[in-house]
Amino acid sequence: MKLHFYKYQGAGNDFILVDNRNSDINHNDPALISSLCDRRFGIGGDGMMFLQKKEGFDFEMIYYNSDGQPSSMCGNGGRCIVAFAHDLGVIEKNTNFLAVDGPHYATISAEENWVSLQMIDVEEIKMDGEASVLNTGSPHYVLPAANLKEKDVFEEGRAIRYNDTYKKQGININFVEDLGDHYFVRTYERGVEDETFACGTGVTAVALAMAKRKNQTGSLSTPIKVLGGDLNIRFDHDGNHFSNIFLEGPAKFVFEGDIEI
């Protein structure tokens, strides 16, 4: 059969999207998902998403990593599927949808290809040596670094992801360099098992972890640069609890097509 698909990207984090509101596609097929995400033999993508109907919500987001396995929340994927829902006519300027970590609210400025996605609240940040460990919908390890442009993120990130502490459940590894007016972040993502151009839940984790380190409270806005472009995180921090967290950035349609599966 032919599968009609769409390709979107958010700050270089790219995804295959499928309109599955009629439930025509049985996506419980890791080998198929993995082959479609393959950059040499398939469409290519950091992950694959299915937009489905869900009672009480505008839609449901079903997300798989490029290894074909179901994943925890993907922030840039969430922003891209909001843009996709807008382009399909499912939503207009705002939405409430369901993802694996619960309900999400988002707004979209289609003229600017800009999506603001509300993330889950965060209360707990643990320390592992110099690194902060927290869950922003996916588990993240945040480690300050110098000369980040020169760092071997693949090798160093992989070594942490597969150490004795994290290899069973997996964790995403974020290296962050404080450049004064913004943070520069590079991320090794589990499931993709490589460095990606951006990670939405990762930059969210970085913004919160660095605010905690610096004892910053109040309503904060944190600009972050990644390999794929610019993102921003807005949130409230009372010293213990992070709330009203929004991941903001571009979400753009790339192309659509058909592939035989």
pLDDT in tens, 178-226: 999 999 999 999 999 999 999 999 999 999 999 999 999 999 999 999 9
The count of other CB atoms within 10 Å of the CB of residue 57 is 16
Based on the domain organization, do 140 and 108 belong to the same domain?
no
Based on the domain organization, do 241 and 255 belong to the same domain?
no
- Residue 44, pLDDT above cutoff 90: yes
Q: Which amino acid is at 183?
A: Y
Based on the domain organization, do 47 and 92 belong to the same domain?
yes
- List residues with catalytic annotation: 74, 199
Based on the domain organization, do 113 and 134 belong to the same domain?
no
Based on the domain organization, do 158 and 239 belong to the same domain?
yes
Place of tokens 């760092």: 151
**Signed CA dihedral, 67, 70, 76, 79: sign only:** positive
Q: Supply 192's token pair.
A: 């993709």
- Alpha-carbon distances, residue 14 vs 5, 134, 256 (angstroms): 13, 24, 13
Based on the domain organization, do 148 and 183 belong to the same domain?
yes
What per-residue confidence (pLDDT) applies to 72? 93
What's 7's domain CATH number? Answer: 3.10.310.10
Based on the domain organization, do 223 and 255 belong to the same domain?
no
**Nearest alpha carbon to residue 204 among 104, 86, 118, 100:** 118
Based on the domain organization, do 113 and 17 belong to the same domain?
yes
What per-residue confidence (pLDDT) applies to 259? 96
As beta bridge partners, residue 182 has none
Based on the domain organization, do 101 and 136 belong to the same domain?
no
Provide the domain limits for residue 107: 2-119+251-260
Q: What average pLDDT does the chain have?
A: 97
Q: What percentage of the chain reaches a pLDDT higher than 90?
A: 97
DSSP string, 133-197: EEESSSEEEEEE-SSGGGS-HHHHHHHHHTSTTTTTT--EEEEEEE-SSSEEEEEEETTTTEEES
Based on the domain organization, do 49 and 69 belong to the same domain?
yes
What per-residue confidence (pLDDT) applies to 110? 86
Domain count, the chain: 2
Based on the domain organization, do 195 and 115 belong to the same domain?
no
Q: What is the mean pLDDT of residues 55-67?
A: 97
Q: Supply 236's token pair.
A: 């409230």
pLDDT, tens only, 85-125: 999 999 999 999 999 999 999 999 988 999 999 999 999 99
Based on the domain organization, do 95 and 188 belong to the same domain?
no
What per-residue confidence (pLDDT) applies to 117? 98
pLDDT, tens only, 150-188: 999 999 999 999 999 999 999 999 999 999 999 999 999
Q: How confident is the model at residue 253 (pLDDT cuts 50, 70, 90)?
A: very high
**Signed CA dihedral, 100, 193, 197, 230: sign only:** positive
When comparing pLDDT for 1 and 82, which is higher?
A: 82
DSSP state of 72: S
- Name every residue whose Cβ is closer than 8 Å to that of residue 224 and which is 6 or more positions away in sequence: 182, 183, 184, 185, 203, 206, 207, 230, 231, 232, 233
